Amino acid sequence: MWYYLRLIGSFLRASIQEETASRVNFMLNILNTILSLTTGVLGIVILFHLVTTIQGWTFPQTLALLGIYQLITALQNLVIQPSMNSLGGIGGDAWTGRFDYTLQAPVSTQFLVSFQKWRLWGLVDVVLSCVILGIALTLLGGQLGLLQVAMFVLALCISLLIVYAIFLLLTSASLWQHGVPLVWIFTSFMQLGRYPVGIYPGMLKLVLTWIVPVAFITTVPVEILTKQVSPIMLVGGAGIALGLLVFASAFFRMSLRHYTGASS
């Protein structure tokens, strides 16, 4: 365990060295986040200047949902996305054959694949999305109990576990079939989580709940903060997360056996 933590430490150091090399990226990253937050917030403002609720969701509640969506994407872009992308992305290790070296390393391959690359500028995104969430909660008023906060943190962890499992699943799939960036399809679907899943028509709602569980990823955490949620949703979410995780790890190991190298 200690050994793995020390490894994460050196991955972090390597990523910091890599990123501080070009400081322009830092500014560009902030600009991007601000643009994405502004368009998101303006979208909601435009909507709510015409109506007062959408499917029972008020303005502050929808704003809180946007904050959570941005928070989860920011956390995902901190380590899950960059690590998996450097394996399964366009021109990634599976593509060039550098993955062979990862396989030879004397540590768990899944660990390496999951934590090898960090994008620490993403911490700014985390802070900015917390600001949005904070504004939304202030607009909502009301007191947050300790239990509510604890449930919220738990729900956030469950969401990240689900996101991680899906990334692992899709990255494993890219070992079988190069060229189709499956992860992009997932992140596109994730965008639908900016608004309450309840607004989508029947079929899509089912897909977003059970196949691409966006409902569990973004809607449940915000419902804990803004509405009453029975703990059963949390138990259900944890069940889905664990199930997905076990399945994804198994599929990852199967894909490793299938992988035959890409170098000539």
What residues line the site for other proteins (CB under 8 A)?
24, 28, 31-32, 35-36, 38-39, 42-43, 45-47, 49-51, 54-55, 179-182, 184-185, 188-189, 191-192, 194-195, 199-201, 203-204
- Shortest gap between Cβ of 45 and other proteins (angstroms)? 8
CA distance 193 to 212: 10
Please report how close the Cβ of residue 96 comes to other proteins at its closest, in angstroms: 16
Torsion of CA 51, 57, 61, 67, to 10 degrees: -90
Nearer to other proteins, 50 or 146 (CB): 50
Taking the complex as a whole, how short is the minimal distance between the CB of residue 142 and other proteins, in angstroms?
25
CB of 74 to other proteins, least distance (A): 17
Nearer to other proteins, 31 or 235 (CB): 31
CB 172 within 8 A of CB 109: no
Residue 171 CA to residue 187 CA, distance in Å, equals 13
Amino acid sitting at position 256: L
Pick between residue 49 and residue 257 the one whose CB is nearest to other proteins. Answer: 49
Nearer to other proteins, 105 or 185 (CB): 185
Residue 123 Cβ vs other proteins, minimum distance, rounded to whole Å:
20
H or E stretch covering 41 = helix 24-48
Angstrom distance (rounded) from CA 241 to CA 23: 37
CA 249 vs CA 54, 110, 214: distances in Å:
39, 8, 20
Residues 6 or more apart in contact with residue 19 via CB below 8 angstroms = 25, 26, 119, 120, 121
Closest CB to other proteins among residues 16, 31: 31
Residue closer to other proteins, measured from CB, 106 or 179: 179
Minimum CB–partner distance for residue 26 and other proteins (Å): 12
Cβ closer to other proteins: 32 or 96? 32
- What's the min distance (Å) between Cβ of 246 and other proteins? 27
Query: Which residues are CB-contacts of 130 (< 8 A; sequence separation ≥ 6)?
Result: 67, 71
What distance in Å separates the CA atoms of residue 88 and residue 102, rounded to the nearest whole number?
13
